[in-house]
Amino acid sequence: MEMRDMILVSLDDHLVEPPSTFADVPVGLKDLAPKIITKDGAESWVYEGRLLPNIALNAVVGRPPEEFGFEPTAYSQLREGTFNPDKRVEDMDADGVCASVCFPSAVGPAGQLFADATDKKAALALLQYYNDWLIDSWCGSNPGRFIPLGIVPVWDIDLAVAEAKRIAKKGARTISLHDNFSAKGLPSIHSGYWDPLFAVMEEERMVISAHIGTGNQAPHASPETPIDAWITTMPMSIAVAAADWLYSPIFKKFPNLKIALAEGGVGWVPYLLERVEFTYKHHRAWTHADFGGKTPSELFFSNFITCFISDDFGMKNIDFLNPDMICWECDYPHSDSVWPRSANALWDSVKHLDKETIDKITHLNTIREFRYDPREILGRENCTVGALKDRSKHVDTAPVAGRGGFNPKEGAEKRPVTSADVMKLFTVAL
């Protein structure tokens, strides 16, 4: 097998909502929908009088590494593939990526913008409109290239169930949910409150997509800590959620339900499972842990989908993982993405593996679990890294400097950029 023969399906990418996202809302919602305002050259979404901190958090693809920290404050500072699905497909071709799952940005990866709304009636209508836009307009623009994802109104379980059923009929293959509901002031997964939603998702075979940072936040050790420390540990913050979901009753009640730990990496998983097994054997006499007749590792390997952007250690220790539940992700347009070198970077990590395992990790596992096969729509011969790259010669992937944006390094050129410097990104627009 050669790099050109791989088929890449990304379990985790992100879109930036274009300014026209809510342009076609019904007349009664026009004044209530999120809208773009421009002030001093900066563009921001406004919803219910709240100015959102950023139009495109960390959407820095296409910049030189020296400018990864320059947070975009206007659409003109973004690569067009971040908010235009046709241009996104061109960027995917140039990267050798056949299909991807795209998480929302402005409304929050799990739709928290609407959950925080005061007018919940309008919020529900806008959330439903957003799902229609995401599935019909974004994913529908290029059949075979985007795996449909949806969000649900988590503030009301009955509404969430109804919306899950509705978007399932529209073709949604996954729902983005908080990795920790309790962190958002919602009932925990241990309470039974979410069981009706999980029942629908199991019946419809929709995967739970739990993205890092949607509930449990990676902590900043101190304001003075170099931001590199936070970037390093951020993916592993999902380990807290992984343990919480593993010890929950969810997968005993719904044994066919699957959860994908988006953007979390896989290298830490073997130790987590080693620790879980030790805890189970050493402490269960008094904790009464129960995995439904399975060992903790067996339950994890049957219900948890793990995914990685770059994880050489994980690929070298794949014998301690489950190759049938590992998926690859690109993370376009965030700074951890190695676009347009994704295929090359991945090949360096997996080329020691046999073809069967490479195929599982690169596309077969995602195709099976998300029930979405681009090969059936595009033809297998058109899905390979080689075929996609061959048809993308016209796409300019050279880094563009000087796009502008908020610069966290201002005043910090002679010292490491700290957590405090970067946290300004979340407040500058406010």
Residue 288's domain comprises 3-28+80-396
Q: What is the pLDDT at residue 70?
A: 86
**Would residue 68 count as lying in a domain?**
no
Q: Give the pLDDT band (50/70/90) at residue 411.
A: low
Predicted TM-score (pTM) of the model is 0.96
**Would residue 410 count as lying in a domain?**
no
**Would residue 421 count as lying in a domain?**
no
pLDDT tens-digit map of 374-396:
999 999 999 999 999 999 999 99
Q: What is the pLDDT at residue 40?
A: 87
Q: How far apart are CA 176 and CA 170, in angstroms?
A: 16
Q: What is the pLDDT at residue 80?
A: 98
**Would residue 142 count as lying in a domain?**
yes
**Would residue 114 count as lying in a domain?**
yes
Q: What is the pLDDT at residue 427?
A: 53
**Would residue 96 count as lying in a domain?**
yes
Give mean pLDDT, residues 272-299.
Answer: 97
Number of separate domains in the chain: 1
**Would residue 49 count as lying in a domain?**
no
Q: What is the pLDDT at residue 426?
A: 59
Q: What is the pLDDT at residue 214?
A: 95
The CATH number covering residue 101 comes to 3.20.20.140
pLDDT tens-digit map of 45-82:
999 999 987 889 899 999 999 999 888 999 999 999 99
Taking Cα atoms as reference points, which of 77, 334, 100 lies closest to residue 209? 100
Q: Give the pLDDT band (50/70/90) at residue 414.
A: confident
Q: What is the pLDDT at residue 9?
A: 98
Q: What is the pLDDT at residue 407?
A: 83
Q: Give the pLDDT band (50/70/90) at residue 406.
A: confident
Q: What is the pLDDT at residue 86?
A: 98
**Would residue 366 count as lying in a domain?**
yes
| SS3 letters across the chain | CCHHHCEEEEEEEECCCCCCCCCCCCHHHCCCCCEEEEECCEEEEEECCEECCCCCCCCCCCCCHHHCCCECCCHHHCCHHHCCHHHHHHHHHHHCEEEEEEECCCCCCCCHHHHCCCCHHHHHHHHHHHHHHHHHHHHHHCCCCEECEECCCCCCHHHHHHHHHHHHHHCCCEEEECCCHHHHCCCCCCCCCCHHHHHHHHHHCCEEEEECCCCCCCCCCCCCCEHHHHHHHCHHHHHHHHHHHHHCCHHHHCCCCCEEEECCCCCCHHHHHHHHHHHHHHHHHHHCCCCCCCCHHHHHHHHEEEEECCCHHHHHCHHHCCHHHEEECCCCCCCCCCCCCHHHHHHHHHCCCCHHHHHHHHHHHHHHHHCCCHHHHHCHHHCEHHHHHHCCCCCCCCCCCCCCCECCCCCCCCCCCEHHHHHHHHCCCC
Taking Cα atoms as reference points, which of 137, 102, 108, 129 lies closest to residue 331? 102
pLDDT tens-digit map of 137-162:
999 999 999 999 999 999 999 999 99
**Contact yes or no for 83/89 (Cβ under 8 A):** no
Supply the mean pLDDT for the chain: 95
Q: What percent of the chain has pLDDT over 90?
A: 90
pLDDT tens-digit map of 8-34:
999 999 999 999 999 999 999 999 999
Q: What percent of the chain has pLDDT over 70?
A: 98
Q: Give the pLDDT band (50/70/90) at residue 430.
A: very low
pLDDT at 428 over 80: no
**Contact yes or no for 194/226 (Cβ under 8 A):** no
